[in-house]
Structure 1
């Protein structure tokens, strides 16, 4: 039985009340923690069934954000085999402990990315960013707090306009910021020194899945010879891409774009993400260090010590 608190978390993720790949991942871990804390299971078999049901519900909310699946993998790793030797109270404690560990590691990773990435920001830089990435903002804020004179150009990120969240956050940090419509990115690229974006998933070949519009900005930066950085925790690398599986691109409700009743004979499409090829990406900033896109394969083979076909259970 899925507890109401976890259902509420899943609904908030699906409705984008909880947004951002890192925050979604931490919420997934917290969902499993809540399940363990409030479980009514009478034995380990029932408890495993509860964890599986909760994992399936959470996974269905945002299929493109591999961070969510990887957080669930982290918490439930080897849980079935452990259930053969551990009693129910110990198994619950293990899930709670792992969930807390993941949240702590995730938060520290964001801080570390800020520290590492800020070294690549120079005094006087103008930085373009897209959507709302806490990792990209960590790099920008850390550089600014180091005393570097920087400016930011933030794209609005239609149709949900997460760029407004970015602009507001930068404003509150007193960082000079310009908000632009997505289609103006090429117009302003001549004024940009570096582009920094986040990621929802990173494939084994170094391609990056991020908010729709990212690939256009990357192409524009490539043409203008502007350095393009991706800031992402290592748990956003997608293990199934090692064996050729494609990242699922989520399409959201067309009503986010326009009212279908006002355009009755028009098909309205609303893909939430796009894929930026590795050749348009200069470097990926992770908590483990800065890597070229080609090194994504090695990160995937090492992270979580999981094989490419690892499942949640």
Structure 2
């Protein structure tokens, strides 16, 4: 009977995580930290060893249910390190757990203001009439751009950011705020680079090498910016700093064998001339003859399938030598300084 009641009241950390994420101000790392504090509140652990094991198990549960756990990983790593290194003089373990919950909630509450600090730091690098290129959608980048708009004239190019198309969300928010904004095709980044003053992106995580993990497409933007001698700035709250040292795109935890794999091709029935996109060559020729090959309806016909999208990565890795500066709530850092900060942060 007691076991049945325990099963009914078992804490579901992924449900807590999703509930916290419904608050648009909450990013995945902060939601992870708050869900781990709730796990402590529901824990029956009687020793620090047992508690840390439960936290690690909870973090693994979150990662297991998340397609892109990069920033979530950073939050879990930070909080578990905090619990492990937390200095305490509590009279009992129950009091220690209460203090850990209090500190976790306090940190998450205060961490939301980190974006304001970063926006203020970024302001000094934005001149009047600046033309900025950004990528996808980032809360901290939005905060920086809206803050700059209060006192300076800026214009923004934003990539469409396929396959999720989150650049459209950025475009709508900036346009509603009165900031001139234009959506750029992902394939037109090189075309527009000569027109911009600098590139400004957010982050999923900043890793120990000083490199950046962000929405796929960030790496190619950084390469093009470097070639065009344009600054490439990254904005990252310190809770996104991650003890990870990837050497290539394929070292990321998000990489798996299905990404960029070649599908098995089934033999086509004899006499079939239908293309892989589902449009016959005859129709393509007819559309071209009628001058309609570039109409919206034609673009919809050849859009990627969900299977094709699934074979592509959600994030990519940008090397530190391509990044000009990282703006964080702990200051303006060079990529080289990230490693030093991480060592100090996790050493207590």
1:127 matched residue in structure 2: 132
Shift of the alpha carbon at 1:119?
0.8
C-alpha change, 1:225 and 1:8, in structure 2 (3 Å) is same
- In the other structure, the counterpart of 1:23 is 27
Structure 1 residues 94 and 250: alpha-carbon distance in aligned structure 2, compared to 1, 3 A threshold: farther
CA 1:125–1:56 in 2, change beyond 3 Å: closer, same or farther? Answer: same
**Residue 97 of structure 2 is aligned to residue 92 of structure 1:** yes
* Residue 249 (1) aligns with residue 254 (2): yes
1:159-170 aligned at under 5 Å gives the runs 159-170=163-174
Q: Offset at 1:164?
A: 2.0
**Counterpart in the other structure of 1:274:** 316
Please list, as runs of the form range in 1=range in 2, the aligned pairs for 1:295-310 lying within 5 A after superposition: 295-305=337-347
Report the TM-score, using the length of structure 2 for normalisation. Answer: 0.72
Task: Indicate whether 1:111 and 2:140 are aligned.
Answer: no
For the structure 1 residues 19 and 108, does the alpha-carbon distance in structure 2 shift closer, same or farther, using more than 3 Å as the test?
closer
Q: 1:11-51, CA deviations, whole angstroms, 9 ceiling, x for partnerless residues? A: 679xx97899x7001101110222234x1627457655543
| Map of 2:69 onto structure 1 | 63
Are the counterparts in 2 of residues 195 and 229 from structure 1 also a CA contact under 8 Å?
Answer: yes
Q: Does the 8 Å CA contact 1:119/1:143 hold for their aligned counterparts?
A: no
Which has the larger displacement, 180-189 or 122-131? 180-189
**2:11 corresponding residue in structure 1:** 3
**TM-score, normalization: structure 1?**
0.80
Contact kept, 8 Å, 2:29 with 2:240, in 1: the verdict is no
* Kept in 1: contact 2:157–2:181 (CA 8 A): yes
Structure 1 position 219, deviation (Å): 1.1
What SS does the corresponding residue of 1:191 show, helix, strand or coil? coil
Partner of 1:222: 226
Q: Deviations over 1:158-184 (max 9, x none)?
A: 111221222222223222211222112
> How many equivalent residue pairs?
292
Match of 2:189 among 163, 185, 196: 185
Unaligned stretches of 5+ residues in structure 1: 307-313
Residue equivalent to 1:102: 107
Deviation digits for residues 92-126 of structure 1 (CA, Å, limit 9, x no counterpart): 31231121122134212211101001110010001
Higher mean displacement: 105-114 or 65-74: 65-74
**RMSD of Structure 2 on Structure 1 (CA):** 3.4
Equivalent-residue separation in structure 2 for 1:47 and 1:233 (angstroms) = 27
Q: Distance in 1 between matches of 2:259 and 2:31?
A: 23
1:209, 1:42 → 2: CA distance? 35
Q: Which whole-Å deviations, capped at 9, do the CAs of 1:165-222 have from their partners, x for residues lacking one?
A: 2222222322221122211211111211111001122223222111110011111111
Provide the C-alpha distance between the structure 2 equivalents of 1:136 and 1:70, rounded to a whole number of angstroms: 24
Q: How does 1:45-64 map to 2 (within 5 A)?
A: 50-60=54-64, 61=66, 62-64=68-70
Following the alignment from structure 1 to structure 2, what is the Cα–Cα distance between the partners of residues 210 and 243? 15
Structure 2 gap segments, 5+ residues each: 1-6, 261-302
Summarize the Cα distance change of 1:184–1:302 in structure 2 as closer, same or farther, 3 Å threshold: same
Measured in 2, the distance between the counterparts of 1:8 and 1:210 equals 25
Higher alpha-carbon Rg: 2
**Is contact 1:24-1:67 (8 Å) kept?**
no
Instruction: Tell me by how many angstroms 1:76 deviates.
Output: 2.6
CA contact (8 A) 1:55 1:72 kept: no
Whether the 8 Å contact between 2:259 and 2:313 is mirrored in structure 1 is: no
Which residue is equivalent to 2:153?
Answer: 149
